Amino acid sequence: METSYAGSIDKDSDGVLVAAAKCGDTRAFEKLVIRHERRVFVVVQRITNNREDAEDVVQESFHHKAFLHLDGFKEKSRFLYFADAHRHE
């Protein structure tokens, strides 16, 4: 049985959610994605001027790179910046 360390998306800080995700709580990672993906999407769509490209960048940033490098996240940082930094790898 999976233990959920994450509470309400509005109450938990990114650090709490990342700590929970590092312990295997996939719902905590989903909450991080939900919290930040819209903001990233809007910025990337403005840059690319293309919805499909923006969707691809968001998918790559959160669902692939950020998840793979989650162990390297330092709780002092903002998750949003961490996810974007690993998009380029």
Average pLDDT of the chain, as a whole number:
77
- For the stretch 5-27, pLDDT in tens is 444 445 678 888 888 988 999 99
Answer whether 73's CB lies under 8 Å from 18's CB.
yes
Nearest CA among 61, 14, 45 for reference residue 22: 14
Name the percent of the chain lying above pLDDT 70.
Answer: 69
pLDDT at residue 30, as a whole number: 92
Would you list the domain boundaries of the chain? 14-88
- For residue 2, pLDDT beyond 80: no
pTM beyond 0.75, yes or no = no
CATH topology for 14-88? Rna Polymerase Sigma Factor; Chain: A (1.10.1740)
- For the stretch 54-68, pLDDT in tens is 999 988 887 777 777
